[in-house]
């Protein structure tokens, strides 16, 4: 498989960059060729199956556990998956959207919403991250065309400015409280399917969710979380941030640039 496209630039328009700067999310079509998506679908699916073989049945899990199978830093377990996670094409888009001089890896995640999988409640990712600025962004890469029935990612446009609800972990509580706050304040709720090869990028503080998987196939998604290459570690403000520090930034020091073997620079100008 020729994977050279992973390092070829995808040029954004000024309008796309402006849209992201205002809304803190964007969907981009034809970022990855269909044959490349299919190739990684096969590899990532095998790895997820092997690593989740002993997960409890879905009916025995809590709301978070029913939302998806969640596997982290697959790049450490597969030279093939590392090529996708380290893609300069994707990393440059992240830097261009955030208007930074470069990006580092925070970590990757595979998010497989099984048949019958529940909702992913409203939340903001950066609640869990001990990072000193809002220069964070996640690429959400569906590994198949994703219809509405499969539970694609949903966004509350421009909600990055909201302070209420940021303290909530993913839970029934976050779903109910944030949903009501967004409704009262009339934030635009964006729910759309994804074509094969289409991806989205969203910031760490924008509120987002996903519906249940009512289809007859697993909704398979790979994500990569990027941060400004000059990102510094902040003192954790909750247990999740303390766990993330020790897990994804081991050896990083508070108030210093997060420069560890797990956080390489993936793109710089």
What are the tens digits of pLDDT across the range 75-132? Answer: 999 999 999 999 999 999 999 999 999 999 999 999 999 999 999 999 999 999 999 9
Tell me 133's DSSP state: S
Q: In this structure, is the dihedral angle defined by the CA atoms of residues 182, 156, 266 and 50, taken in order, positive or negative?
A: positive
CA 217 – CA 46 distance, rounded (Å):
15
Ordered domains of the chain (ranges, CATH): 4-263 (2.60.120.620)
Q: Alpha-carbon distance 120 to 171, whole Å? A: 8
Which tokens belong to 19? 């849209």
Beta 25-28 vs 199-203: how paired, if at all?
antiparallel
Residue 223 CA from chain centroid, whole number = 5
The model's pTM: 0.95
Whether 58 has a pLDDT exceeding 80, the answer reads no
Nearest to 162 by CA among 131, 120, 122, 130: 122
Query: What secondary structure letter does DSSP report for 126?
Result: G
Q: What is the pLDDT of residue 102?
A: 98
Mean per-residue pLDDT over the chain, rounded:
95
Sheet holding 120-123, edge to edge: 120-123, 208-210, 153-156, 189-191
Q: CB pairs under 8 A, 24+ apart, for 13-22?
A: 16/97, 17/96, 17/97, 17/99, 20/97, 20/201, 21/97, 21/99, 22/158
158: left (phi over 0), alpha (psi -120 to 50) or beta: left
Name the nearest CA neighbour of 28 among 160, 107, 125, 141.
Answer: 141
Confidence class for position 57, pLDDT limits 50, 70, 90: confident
- Residue-wise pLDDT for 211-269, tens only, equals 999 999 999 999 999 999 999 999 999 999 999 999 999 999 999 999 999 999 999 99
d(CA 103, CA 1): 27
Distance CA 178, CA 189 (A): 12
Instruction: Look at the chain and count its residues.
Output: 269
Are 209 and 121 within 8 A, CB to CB?
yes
């Amino acid at each position: 498989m020729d994977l050279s496209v992973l390092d070829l630039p995808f040029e954004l328009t000024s309008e796309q960059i402006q849209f992201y700067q205002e809304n803190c999310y964007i969907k981009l079509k034809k970022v990855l060729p269909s044959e490349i998506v299919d190739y990684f679908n096969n590899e990532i699916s095998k790895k997820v199956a092997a690593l989740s073989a002993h997960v409890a049945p879905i009916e025995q899990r809590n709301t978070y556990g029913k939302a998806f199978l969640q596997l982290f830093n697959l790049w450490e377990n597969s030279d093939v998956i590392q090529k996708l996670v380290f893609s300069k094409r994707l990393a440059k888009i992240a830097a261009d959207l955030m208007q930074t001089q470069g990006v580092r890896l925070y970590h990757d995640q595979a998010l497989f919403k099984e048949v019958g999988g529940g909702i992913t409640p409203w939340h903001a990712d950066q609640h869990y991250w001990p990072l000193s600025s809002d220069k964070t962004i996640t690429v959400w890469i569906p590994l198949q065309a994703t219809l509405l029935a499969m539970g694609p990612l949903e966004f509350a446009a421009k909600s990055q400015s909201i302070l209420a609800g940021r303290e909530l972990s993913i839970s029934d509580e976050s779903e109910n409280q944030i949903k009501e706050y967004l409704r009262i304040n009339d934030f635009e709720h964006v729910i759309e399917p994804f074509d094969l090869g289409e991806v989205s990028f969203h910031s760490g503080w924008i509120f987002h969710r996903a519906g249940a998987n009512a289809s007859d196939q697993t909704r398979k998604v790979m994500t990569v979380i990027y941060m400004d290459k000059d990102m510094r570690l902040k003192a954790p403000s909750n247990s999740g941030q303390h766990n993330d520090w020790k897990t994804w930034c081991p050896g990083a020091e508070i108030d210093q640039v997060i420069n560890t073997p797990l956080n390489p620079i993936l793109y710089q100008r």
